[in-house]
Amino acid sequence: MRRNSIRALIASSLLLAMACDEAPGEDDAGGASPDAGDSPRDAATPPPRDGAVPLDDAGPPPEGVPTLVAIGKFGRITTSCDGGRTWPHDFSDDDSASCEGIDCDHHRGSATGLTWGGGYFWASFGWGEPAMRVMRSADGVTWETMYDSADQHFAGLAWAGDRLVGGTTQPQWSTDGGMSFTGAEWPTWDVPEGEWPVGRQIGFAPVGGGRIAVVAGAGDGSWGAIIVSRDGGLTYSAATVDADCRGYSRPPRFGGSAWVLPWAETGVLCTSVDGGETWTAARVADGEHLTNSIYTGSEHVVYAPTRAFRSPDGLTWTESASDTDVGVVGYDPSSASYVAVLRNRSYDAQRFLRSTDGGTWEELPAGAHVRGHPITHIAFGYGATDGACAP
């Protein structure tokens, strides 16, 4: 690979790249959103950062109501208040529409990111179309649009302790609740000569004062690249990435002391235990589909068809059985519940699942969830104590 400092790109070239870029399948656990980018600009200095970064397995659980949120195509958002047993709150931009026969990936309603932090669930929608939006909710049920842009396309969101960060080729950060975003200094990406680093995923790790990782990759899955920020998203530099870290990326998930980044269709798991500086590859399911990674508080778990891969440290993986081909997975630590949807199933064929051990899955009964638009992301967080999920 040759390291390229990307300084500017003609707008028409970007639009062409977005139109031609291949989108992930309907069960993709993270948006590989083509990135419109914008003109290079200097990053303003944000307010000072708080020292502590309470996230994931760092410290006691926040106050609030345990809540699961799932999002997907056509702006679909559905919410469970009971550990994934039922999903009664469900809406979309158009419940009567269908992804059958149309391109739902390159669409204003295509989900690209979901996270929880700062007392809110955050979701981003819009991929390929010249418009995107960032929404937030205190309880996972009532949502407001905080940011609507014809210029940006976020390939996911990360809550970085005191700010929201949007994953793009030139990552963007917000300290005003997502109402406005400021671009980082233009990163130096380590990509093949002539390639453009389309932002695919983003993640945060509460180590080393807080680290942000943004993942890029080729539309055909032939290469991958990662940049890392150590200063709250003001600047980024290229990480050292194993050549096998390529394919169709899922979001990097931090837990314990490791980041785990699955690459679907190549069956590779890439791990960083040094705050994102270096990423090593483990080929656990050669050429097979991999789900997003979850962290249970004691181990990372990733799924291939009929199999689960578990690791306490992200480095040593143990294979075990899974009786269902899951597509997108989530975990509720308050009830020790695994939740998922069947892979590549939507509308009448869609099924939501629940498990207490992550190996034996139970389909939810009819009426427990809407059988609707494809689901692409699931996240756990703590809803407002006076919200829709409050006892």
Cβ-count burial 122-159 (b if 16+ within 10 Å, e if not): bbbbbbbbebbbbbbbbbbbebeebbebeebbbbbbbb
User: Which superfamily, per CATH, for 10-41+73-383?
Assistant: YVTN repeat-like/Quinoprotein amine dehydrogenase (2.130.10.10)
DSSP code string of 278-340: EEEEEESSTT------EE-SS-EEEEETTEEEEESSSSS-EEEE-SS-EEEEEEETTTTEEEE
Q: What counts of helices (H) and strands (E) characterise the chain? A: 1, 32
**What pLDDT score was predicted for residue 227?**
98
**What pLDDT score was predicted for residue 36?**
32
Rounded to 5 degrees, what angle do the CA atoms 67, 114, 160 make?
Answer: 100
**What pLDDT score was predicted for residue 63?**
86
Please list the pLDDT of the chain residue by residue as tens digits (391 residues).
444 444 434 333 333 344 445 443 334 433 333 333 332 333 344 443 433 333 444 556 788 999 999 999 999 999 999 999 999 999 999 999 999 988 999 999 999 999 999 999 999 999 986 689 999 999 999 999 999 998 888 999 999 999 999 999 999 999 999 999 999 999 999 999 999 999 999 999 999 999 999 999 998 889 999 999 999 999 999 999 999 999 899 999 999 999 999 998 899 999 999 999 999 999 999 999 999 999 999 999 999 999 999 999 999 999 999 999 999 999 999 999 999 999 999 999 999 999 999 999 999 999 999 999 999 999 999 999 999 999 8
CA dist 165 and 30 (Å) reads 15
Report which residue type is found at 343.
R
**What pLDDT score was predicted for residue 23?**
42
Q: Which helix (H) or strand (E) holds 67?
A: strand 65-72
**What pLDDT score was predicted for residue 210?**
96
